[in-house]
Amino acid sequence: MNLKCQHSRTYLAQSSPSSQVRRCVDCNSQVEPQEGLKTCSICEAEYEGWGNNAEPVNPGRCCDSCNWNQVIPARIIGLTR
């Protein structure tokens, strides 16, 4: 699970898959989970808001970063084939 860091606005990762403690990737400080976040079906980062349709890369919803960097290019390539 990934979370937004309150001080660096970057995404966070769990310190280990079985751990409930989450640490900032940049500063390694412990960060509390935020409510109302959804998980991207592509990169598994958590995001706020509606998200984006992840097709044709993945079923489900994705974050804005994956939408711009993976989904839209995949759609454009699909149109040119």
How many Cα atoms within 13 Å fall on the side-chain side of residue 7?
Answer: 10
Token pair 């390694």: residue: 28
pLDDT of 32-49, one tens digit each? 666 678 899 999 998 888
The DSSP annotation for 2-39 comes to --B-TTT--BEEESSTT---EEETTT--EE---TT-EE
Spatial contact of 72 and 64, defined as CB atoms under 8 Å apart: no
Residues 54, 56, 61: CA angle, nearest 5 degrees: 15
pLDDT of residue 1: 46
> pLDDT value at position 46?
86
Query: 0.95 exceeded by the pTM?
Result: no
Segments of the chain scoring below 50 in pLDDT: 1-2, 7-10, 15
